[in-house]
Chain A
Amino acid sequence: MSAAVSVENLRIEIAATGTPVVSDVSFAIAPGEILGLVGESGSGKTTVGLALLGHARRGLRIAGGSVLLGDRDVLTQDEEERRKLRGSAVSYVPQDPASSLNPALRIGLQLREVLDAHDSGGARDYSARIAEMMRAVALPDDRAFLKRYPHELSGGQQQRIGLAMAFANRPRLIVLDEPTTGLDVTTQAHVLSTVRELAALHDVAALYVSHDLAVVAALARRVAVMYAGRVVELGPADAMFASAGHPYTRRLIGAIPRLTGGRSLVGIPGRALSPGKRPGGCGFAPRCDLRIGQCEQEMPELRPIDTDHMVRCIRAELVMTQDPGKAGEPVEMPAADDAEVPALRITDLVASYGRHEVVHSVSLALAARECLALVGESGSGKTTIARAVAGLHHAWTGAIALDGAELHPSARNRGGDARRRIQYIFQNPYGSLNPRRTVGQIVAQPLKIFGTAGGREADKRVAEMLERVSLSSGYARRYPDQLSGGERQRVAIARALVCDPTVLICDEVTSALDVSVQAAIVELLGSLQRDLGLSMLFITHNLPLVRSIAQRVAVLSQGRIVEAGEVGQVLAHPSQPYTRQLLSDTPSLETASTDVSLDEPPAETFGK
């Protein structure tokens, strides 16, 4: 069976300098097959995806290699030929559906134009075909719906339009670029199943680009892992997840939060280097704990170690025999004391935005030295609750008490002590640090505001805190622009902890980070929480992550708590339908290979 698409030695460089961004990438996809392309930010995966359409973003240039669609090489075609291929022989489903749809055009028109552009028969009536397309992606097929503008659709609906447009002309190959980023778990599950169905139905080959291994595992039979612009491992998904051949893949798998098995996550030290700064020799060597001298001298070849399983590592055989590492060890959680006054007690909290009530009478207690996870999808109200506790959201009624003392809705009206004892870490590492201040000034700010320490004493505390979050004290002189996302979150953590708070609120602090970085940050937070005896409110939409850090969990849906209890209990034996649905919709490596229906998962999948 000939491949639907065959990529050979693809090389993409920065146009101005010739610095390679992607090199030596080769793979093939059969018709009807889904190949997962996995990598973290900077690995070059999106660039590869776009190259399959013969497209390079501004500033980049496709410098070599071939992309064979059937017998035609996309890269040797001229611009007009390539235009004809795009949307008809090969299509693209973008990452952000909201910004990829023209805000000024009705969606009916945007659907029609992809049919029109590739129709050699002249203007025809496309209504029937459009209606069919809409039904295929489970969207309403009536004209009223087609008259809507993109902003009148939800994120999930927008993404389905993207899918409809991609499948419209029955292409040979579809490139999906992280199409479920930004969608909540349930919507994501639906979108993924739609992709699977349509690909099988029309015998379309698909390249699924993602940073989320769990999602890829659920969808693809074969996976290619990219690091620093190269494919480092390529093979069948189950074989790879059971026992990976490349150290990076192995570490990546160890960093993924799980619903079963061990709780602790292991991150990868260091960070990926950008094009131009990559070392000679193996790209992963600087961060690899199995490296030997030879690794740094020459780039390993992508070689087969098993049928259909290729690895770019000279020590692949050794890697496969390795123990997955500490991922199996359960984490010791200190016992929470019931007799003590809870660090935080929320009673009948009702919060609104304008006239719209978003939190309906929520009551919670956070015990001292305990980590409570607040889990929910967007719109569930979890961030609103967190901001109310911090005094950032003022429109609420009810009571929030810190160590028994009630708090004023607005942070400004609370005493200095109350403000000091509740600290907040934000989701977006790129917005939570003042770009005009040095790291040292940022971390020292709370000390100045609360008068805890000054001058030399302050400098000492800052240096101590930076060490605590695994940043060398030299970081104090740097500016946020020079730091990576993970490093910035560490600075945010240092800032939050420098004044000895009692309660730490973490609001989706790892959602914007790569998986390996997320693992490191979560481990850091977990160890700090235990060592310092902090009470922590950990907010996330990522259920498996909860296992790695929290003792208790409260599940929120549409402003109400639907279920709460000890983490192990809730995840293993959820009592509410909503929780069960959430669990089964969450993609995970364990459930990927077993065929799980959308009902209650088998109990033995979740052990303690």
Chain B
Amino acid sequence: MSAVKGAGEVGGGITAPAESPVPFRNSSLIFRALRLWRTRIGAALVGALVLLAIIGPYVAPYGPSVPVGEPNSTPGGNAVLGTDYLGQDVLSRFLYGGRGILVMAVIATAIGLIVGVAIGLVAAYARNALDDVLMRGMDVIMAFPQIMLALVAVAVVGPQAWVIVVAIALTTVPRIARVARGAAQPVVERDFIACSEAMGVPRWRILFGELLPNTLGPLMVEASLRMTYSIGVIAALAFLGLAPDPNGANWGTMIQQNQIALSVQPWGAVMPIIAIALLTMGTGLIGDGIARTAAGIDRSRSAE
């Protein structure tokens, strides 16, 4: 809403709908998104796998490193899904294998989310040199693909859990910051923000009380996308042999360890593949569902 317009234009051409459409309740985005089939399926998948990962260790028939039979034997006898390359029970390792990945992914994404949103909102609101400086900083971190930074960190310190979490959180920050800034910029231009400024509302209050709630849509979509990638990268690191506990049960590690024996005993690799695939597809579906709902709301708000 700049006050200086080109000569010959006035009023900004704002059109008024005859009657306001779709009532929009506060924080209902998730609930409305859940009305879509895809969001429900995604939520179901994620829910099921998270449950599996959390409860798994409690219901596993054996420990994760207990030999129960001949290596690479097919299902039968002690092992419902057969054994892996060391003779350990595939089912048990599978049930133990999700926790590590999920916990690390959730923590990394959460940290990245909090820091990234803060930076993005501040940059969008500042609209001056601070914005430039922050975004250049983000560019520097963005110059690395996520897995690269994790690899570099692991190269130095070793594949410890905190290293991986920090590396992924760090690479998540700029990506979220960019989205947060992009979502906040149009909101910053709107008059209700100017109104609060004229009344002297403190800056931090405007940022988190007025700006943030109006950018939730794109942020939630990006958060689920980031979660998908965090899970992917952590599992990939495990696949490359860089899990915190190289011999522990971990879906990524299991795939790597058992892929050689695929033709003989597929379950050792197939189970974790299915799990990771369903988990990432689930988070992807949730994100897409939210995106569609938000787009639908925007569309009906500006209709006719």
The answer to the question of A387 belonging to the interface, with a C-beta cut-off of 8 Å to chain B, is: yes
Chain A hits for B22, CB < 8 A = 481
**Which residues of A lie under 8 Å from residue B12 when comparing CB positions?**
182, 427-428, 511-512
Residue among A379, A434, A480, A484 making CB contact with B6, cutoff 8 Å: A379
Q: Give the complex CA separation of A426 and B213 in angstroms.
A: 22
Chain A residues whose CB sits within 8 angstroms of the CB of B35 once the complex forms: none
- Asked if B20 and A379 make an inter-chain contact with CB atoms under 8 angstroms apart, the answer reads no
Count residues on chain B whose CB falls below 8 Å from chain A CBs. Answer: 42
* Binary contact track B5-44/A, C-beta < 8 Å → 1, others 0: 1111111111111111111111000000000000000000
Question: B140 interface residue, CB < 8 Å from A?
Answer: no
Q: How far is the CA of A485 from the CA of B194 in the complex (A)?
A: 19
Asked if A432 and B195 make an inter-chain contact with CB atoms under 8 angstroms apart, the answer reads yes
Q: Which residues of B contact A512 (CB under 8 A)?
A: 11-12, 14-16
B76 close to A (CB within 8 Å):
no
Partner of B18, one of A274, A392, A419, A508: A274
Q: A42 CA to B19 CA in the complex, in Å?
A: 8
Check B155 for interface membership: any CB of A closer than 8 A.
no
Q: Within the complex, what minimum Cβ distance (angstroms) separates A165 from chain B?
A: 19
Whether A431 lies near B16 (C-beta < 8 A) is: no
- Whether A154 touches B19, Cβ cut-off 8 Å, given contacts A390-B198, A428-B14, is no
Contacts A433-B192, A436-B26 given: A184-B201 contact, CB under 8 Å?
no
Q: Does B132 contact A (CB under 8 A)?
A: no
Of the candidates B1, B190, B194, B304, the one whose C-beta lies within 8 Å of that of A42 is B304
Q: Quick check: B197 and A431 within 8 Å, CB to CB?
A: no
The segment out of A65-73, A302-310, A408-416 that lies at the interface is A408-416
Task: Name the B residues within 8 Å of A157 (CB-CB).
Answer: 8
- A411 to B199: give the CA distance in the assembly, Å: 7
List A residues 417-453 near B (Cβ within 8 Å). Answer: 419-420, 422, 424, 426-436, 445-446, 449-450
B190 / chain A contacts, CB cutoff of 8 Å: 428, 431-432
B253 shortest CB reach to chain A, Å: 45
Question: Is A230's CB within 8 Å of the partner chain B?
Answer: no
Residues of chain A within 8 A (CB-CB) of B8 are 154-157, 183-184, 187, 378
A422 closest partner in B (C-beta): B198
A273 close to B (CB within 8 Å): yes
Total interface residues in chain A, CB < 8 Å:
72
B84–chain A nearest beta-carbon distance, Å: 52
Q: How far is the CA of A95 from the CA of B194 in the complex (A)?
A: 29
Kindly identify which residue among B7, B15, B16, B213 contacts A379, using a CB–CB cutoff of 8 Å. B7
Bound complex: CA A379 to CA B5 (Å): 6
B-side contacts of A381, CB under 8 Å: 3
CB distance from A25 to the nearest CB of B (A): 17
The closest CB in chain B to the CB of A14 belongs to B304
B4 within 8 A of A: yes
Return the contact of B194 from the options A271, A392, A514 (Cβ within 8 A): A392
Interface: B136 (CB within 8 A): no
Q: Which residues of A contact B17 (CB under 8 A)?
A: 41-42, 484-485
Judge whether B197 and A412 touch: CB under 8 Å. yes
Tell me which residues across on chain B come within 8 A of A43, comparing CB atoms: 18
If A181-B11, A383-B3, A416-B200 touch, whether A485 touches B16 (CB-CB below 8 Å) is yes
B6 CB, nearest partner CB in chain A, Å? 6
- B29 CB to closest chain A CB (Å) equals 11
B-facing residues in A384-404 (Cβ within 8 Å): 384, 387, 390-393
Closest to B214 in A: A436
Contact (A479, B25) CB under 8 Å given A379-B7, A514-B16: yes
Contact A378 B194 (CB under 8 A): no
User: C-beta contact mask, A502-526 vs B, less than 8 Å → 1, else 0?
Assistant: 0000001001111001000000000
Interface of B is mostly: loop
Inter-chain contact A434/B11, CB cutoff 8 Å? no
The total of Cβ contacts below 8 Å across the A-B interface reads: 171
Complex: how many Å from CA A424 to CA B17?
24
B residues less than 8 Å from A274 (CB atoms): 18-19, 304
Judge if A24 is at the interface, Cβ distance under 8 Å.
Answer: no
> Which one of B7, B24, B196, B200 contacts A414 once the chains associate, using CB atoms below 8 Å?
B200
Interface: B210 (CB within 8 A): yes
Q: Distance in Å from the Cβ of A148 to the closest Cβ of chain B?
A: 14
Q: Is B301 an interface residue (CB 8 A)?
A: yes
Which A residues are CB-close (under 8 A) to B3?
Answer: 358, 381, 383-384, 387, 393
Residues on B with beta carbons closer than 8 Å to the beta carbon of A391: 198
**A445 touching B199 by the CB < 8 A rule?**
yes
The answer to whether A411 and B20 touch (CB under 8 A), given A378-B7, A512-B14, is no
Give Cα distance in the complex from A505 to B201, angstroms: 19
Closest B residue to A159 by beta carbon equals: B8
Q: Is the CB of B19 within 8 A of A481?
A: no
B304 → chain A closest CB, angstroms: 7
> Once the chains bind, are B19 and A449 in contact (CB under 8 Å)?
no
Which of B11, B18, B20, B195 contacts A511 (CB under 8 A)?
B11
Find out whether the CB atom of B20 lies under 8 angstroms from the CB atom of A483: yes
Question: Does A459 lie at the interface of the complex (its beta carbon under 8 Å from any beta carbon of B)?
Answer: no
Contacting B16 at CB < 8 Å: which of A377, A393, A484? A484
Q: Cβ of B199 and Cβ of A446 under 8 Å apart?
A: yes
Contact check: which of A95, A378, A424, A483 meets B10 at CB < 8 Å? A378
Alpha-carbon distance A445/B302, docked complex (angstroms): 27
User: Are B5 and A378 in contact, CB atoms less than 8 angstroms apart?
Assistant: yes
A482, B14: Cβ atoms under 8 Å? no
Residues of A within 8 A of B24 (CB): 435, 479, 481
Give Cα A274–Cα B4 distance, bound, in whole angstroms: 35
Q: Are A379 and B23 in contact (CB under 8 A)?
A: no
A346 on the interface (CB 8 Å rule)? no
**Docked pose: A155 CA to B25 CA in angstroms:** 39
Verify B10–A411 contact, CB threshold 8 A. Answer: no
A513 to B16, CA, bound (A): 6
Q: Quick check: is A134 within 8 A (CB to CB) of the other chain?
A: no
User: Interface readout for B98-126 with A: 1 if CB under 8 Å, 0 if not?
Assistant: 00000000000000000000000000000
Contacts of B198 in A (CB 8 A): 390-392, 411, 419, 422, 424
A508 to chain B: which residues have CB within 8 Å?
A: 11
Residue in A closest to B27 when the chains form the complex, CB atoms: A436
Which of B13, B19, B192, B195 contacts A181 (CB under 8 A)?
B13
Report, nearest first, the 6 A-B pairs whose CB atoms are least far apart.
A42-B18, A383-B3, A485-B16, A432-B191, A431-B190, A426-B191
Q: Show 9 A/B contacts (Cβ-Cβ < 8 Å), sorted by A.
A: A156-B8, A182-B10, A377-B10, A381-B3, A426-B195, A431-B191, A432-B195, A435-B24, A514-B16
